[in-house]
A and B are shown apart, each in its own frame.
Chain A
Amino acid sequence: MTPPSDTDDTDPGPLVPRDRTAHPVALDPDYKTSVTRAPSQPLLSMDSTPSEETGPRFGHSLVGPQDNNLILNFTGTPAIGERILVHGRVRDEFGRPVPETLIEIWQANAGGRYRHVKDTYFAPLDPNFGGCGRTLTDSEGRYRFLTIRPGAYPWPNRGNDWRPMHIHFSVFGHSFGQRLITQMYFEGDPLIHRCPIAQTIRDRSQLDTLVAPLDMAMSRPLDFLAWRFDITLRGRRQTMFENRPEGL
């Protein structure tokens, strides 16, 4: 943990209220587990407070040199699968970069199997693939991971549901109220539009932002293909006067 360095934020206002239409519906009968886990009462809305405007910060001493290389970071011997680079930028709703923030990812292996005590799918574990990585964004909000392309896999929901190839992303931002977990999909995967979890996002243009395009410019010949995934976090209203008591 390091103290915040954002001395440039002179008098930031509250977090911009979350636009819930940008997000999935909470209850979707086609995603059966959501039926008993979605709140039925409205959320209580308020301006954010210091409890949500502050948040944990993580420093470079936390992150190991191989933490963002999932091909090598489990045993040092390369994992099996299609080698890929996943990269992008983290910014806020106003387009400002979010520097020095922690991103964590986790995923299935090339056969669609997770290294988790509860995953019992037929596909074998790869002894050289753990399936998790983390990194800090740089001063311009950029990040990169080397990994293998995860496989699609079946899951118990409706009769024959399959998850598209995906990588789970966890992003902190600089405020606890910016906290976000999402999933990145791959351009061209025909399972995306059959997936009840992806389809919990009703706004097609919003779902499209989770579908990473192939990025040939960042691909390395004879080595790996690249996929680009940019992430937008909530911003904070920038106001000069509204936080001050009346009369000042």
Chain B
Amino acid sequence: MRHRETPSQTAGPYVHIGCMPTHAGNPGSFATEIGTSPIRDGAAGEIVTITGAVLDGQGLAVRDAMIETWQADARGRFPGDPRADPNVIGFARLAADGATGEFTLRTVKPGRTPARGGGTQAPHISLWIVARGINTGLQTRLYFEGDTADDPLLARIEHRPRAETLIATRTGPGAFRFDIRLQGAGETVFLDL
């Protein structure tokens, strides 16, 4: 390799100015903001709503966090694949609420996707979390309670309680809860993929 990767720096507390201008209080900065929804009307599959919060090592909600999400469509095809559902954009940006710290993602539940070297992965959404105090964006995944069988990544996590930090809990029909714990008890498994 000829070059080293450019080092990360924290996104800081004002990441929304550049990435989610409306959330920063500056609607209209761009004609169209990206990441406002991962699906369009008509996306095929089960619509799910996931709520949660990013919690710091003291259990306090990180109210300036931004989460990006990336996923396949209901048949496990990623946007960009000519066979993928044209109503699945696959990418979203979520802002923690400035008062409560809660975020909400409304999307279609993805299908199983190919694994490297053959086989498949259980349905999951890839997450990338940035905030003040996070020096390099954190990668993790959200799996769905009751649909985690035969997943190479979950199988690699030796301690079952740690694997469970990646599994969203079903709270009702089409509704899930997923909290991300940055540090300490119940710390979410973060990935180096």
Interface residues of A (CB under 8 A from B): 1, 3-4, 14-20, 22-26, 28, 31, 33-41, 43-52, 54-58, 62, 64, 67, 73-74, 91-95, 102, 104-106, 114-119, 130-134, 168, 170, 176-177, 179-183, 197-198, 200-201, 203, 206-207, 209-210, 231-235, 243, 245
Contact = CB atoms under 8 A, between A and B. Distances in A.
Interface in B172-193: 182-184, 187-193
A49 B193 contact: yes
B15 A106 contact: yes
Interface residues of B, number: 83
Given A16-B1, A23-B136, A67-B30, A106 B187 contact: no
Interface of B: 1-19, 21, 24-26, 29-32, 34, 56-58, 60, 62, 64, 68, 70-72, 78-82, 89-91, 98, 113-118, 121, 124, 126, 128, 130-139, 141, 152-153, 156-157, 162, 182-184, 187-193
Contacts of A56: 34, 70, 79, 89-91
Q: 3 nearest interchain CB pairs?
A: A106-B18, A33-B133, A37-B133
Contacts, number: 279
B9 A209 contact: no
Contacts of B72: 51
Contacts of B9: 24, 168, 181-183, 197-198, 200-201, 210
Nearest to A209: B6
B78 A54 contact: yes
Contacts of B98: 117-118
Chain A CB count within 10 A is highest, among B5, B24, B34, B80, for B5
Contact of A36 (B114, B124, B133): B133
A56 B162 CA distance: 29
B79 A52 contact: no
6 contacts: A25-B135, A28-B135, A43-B191, A64-B31, A115-B26, A134-B18
Contact of B118 (A19, A35, A105, A245): A245
A152 B3 CA distance: 30
Contact of A39 (B71, B90, B138): B138
Given A119-B14, A168-B12, A176-B70, 19 more contacts: A1-B89, A3-B82, A28-B135, A35-B57, A36-B60, A37-B183, A38-B134, A40-B184, A41-B187, A49-B116, A50-B116, A92-B3, A93-B2, A132-B18, A170-B15, A177-B193, A181-B8, A182-B8, A233-B6
Chain A CB count within 10 A is highest, among B3, B187, B188, for B3
Contacts of B117: 243, 245
Contacts of A116: 13-14, 16-17, 24-26
A22 B128 contact: no
Contacts of A67: 30
B57 A181 contact: no
Do most interface residues of chain A lie in helix, strand or loop, or is the interface mixed?
loop
Given A39-B183, A50-B114, A168 B7 contact: no
Contacts of A50: 78, 113-114, 116
A44 B157 contact: yes
B80 to A, nearest CB: 4
Contacts of A46: 152-153, 156, 191-193
A39 B29 contact: no
Contacts of A45: 191-193
A15 B70 CA distance: 17
Given A22-B7, A56-B79, A93-B2, A34 B134 contact: yes
B136 A3 contact: no
A22 B4 contact: yes
A48 B153 CA distance: 10
B131 A47 contact: no
A15 B135 contact: no
B190 A39 contact: yes
A22 B5 contact: yes
A67 B31 CA distance: 9
